[in-house]
Each structure stands twice: as C-alpha cells, then as structure tokens.
Structure 1
Amino acid sequence: MQISDVKDAIADAARENITLPAGIGKLTCTGFVPDAVVAPCFFVGEVDVNYDQAMGRGLDELLITCRVLAGRADDRSAQRILDKMLSGSGPASLKAAFETMRGAPGEFALGGLADDIHLQRVTGYRWYEHAGSSYVGAELAVRVIGDGRT
C-alpha cells in the first residue's frame, strides 16, 4: 500500500460522501494535517504501520488517526454539527462514509488501494488547539489493511 495514496483516497471519499445540514457549507477534507483549518474540517493525521502481518509481505496494516474539527464560533451549534458527523448513519455520518469506502462485497477498498478499511472508534471528543485557534472535535481510529508488496 502506498500511504499517501490511501490518505488522499480517505479524504476524497469523505468529501464526496458527507452532506452537512443546510447553511453549514461543505466539509473541508485533506489527506494531510493542514497548517490552517477551515471548519468544519476532516483530515488524516498520524499513521502507525504494522508490517508483515502475513508471510511474504502479503499484508501490512495501517492504523490511522483522523480528526474532525467542527467549529469554534458557537460551542453548542459546533457540537451539534460534530454529533451529526459522528452519528452511525445519516447524510453527515462519517461512519456511513467509511462504509462506502469499503466497496461492495468482493471488491477492494478505496478503489483498489487496500483490501479493507474500517472506522473502529471515535475518541477524544473535546476542544482541540490547532494553529492557535480552538475547535470542538474528535479523533477517529481507522484500520486499513492491504498488500505490503505494492
């Protein structure tokens, strides 16, 4: 798996599959940690790699931390936007977006870049400091597995 390609594909899929409530605007999505945030924002952060999960370099595992930062102007409305994105279903659901990233049964994930992707959990629902500003947000733990030879 090529890590940069996987990170970009995650951001692209989130951008394409998330519809925020009217008046909120589009979710800004990047496959990297941005210098400045335009909220609401989803980005791919840290990556841990577990090599050689199968013989012959047949499988590597990426444990990726993504962040979603909802806003900072109004704590209540920002938390409601964040709640919609963290819900298990609905047009703003990141979980639902990640399910589409998996592909149909028998297909590879992320358009063929990985064997599978799974949004495992959400943690750290709190205020985050990013580039000198505070945002309410959360971290998403994502597991990606794929061929270690590519």
Structure 2
Amino acid sequence: MKTDQRTEETLKKIARIAIANNRRSRFIGFASTSRGVEKWLKDLDHFENYIDKRGAISFGDSRQVHDFLNSKFSMNEVGFAFSTQNEYRKGRFEKIDVIIGDLLGSGNGSFILINKCKTFCLYLGEDVRSNFVWMWKV
C-alpha cells in the first residue's frame, strides 16, 4: 500500500538530510510504500550506523535537545515525527511540544522534521544519549 503523499515527501526529505550517502537511496525508496516504511522502522532504534553525522550537532542528553529546540521554535508550531513509538509508526504531524513530550528521552528511535526559515531534522536514538540535529536552509 502506498503511503500518503505528504508523509512520503517528508520521509524523503529526512532521508536526503540525515542519512549517509551509501544508504540514502534505499531509504528514499522505503518512503513510498507502507511495507517500505515498516522496513525503515525495523532499523530506527539503532539507526546511528545509517545517519550522516557530518554537519550534525550531537547532544548527549535530552535536556540539551529540549533547550535547543525551545530557543529556535515556538512549541505551538507543527512538526513531523516518525518513530518506533506506536502513535508515530506511520508518521504524524503534530505540535512540537506534543512531539517532544512524547518522544524526547523515550528511548524510541525517532526522526523529527521541523520547517521554518531553516529546516531542522532531529534523530533521537534508542540510547537517550544519541541525539543529532541537522540544520538546512530552505
């Protein structure tokens, strides 16, 4: 079954920003179908081997991530989250404060994408000390 277009495009954007070159096309392909999204989810908790850490800001704890986001955004803005946590397994557009409250420090592998004057992409790993943020000009 095909994923909805908005979710597919957002997952592809995450792949272009955060996934290493040698794995990027594979995950872009996964974004098109529900079966592909499930394959992506299978690896999401331990995704550190697939991400492109060049240009990423690494945060060692959840509080640093929260403070960084709070300084950049109004928590009422809407972002996109994709996670192994049940409510986000198919991707979900939600207010940033809800996403952060649900996922930050949860130990669920997650990607979060926030668009503003810059695009912010976050990866939160199963290891709660594994947090990466990429910033891209739109």
Above 0.5 in TM-score? no
Q: Which has the higher strand share?
A: 1
TM-score with structure 2 setting the length: 0.32
Please say which structure displays the higher CA radius of gyration: 1
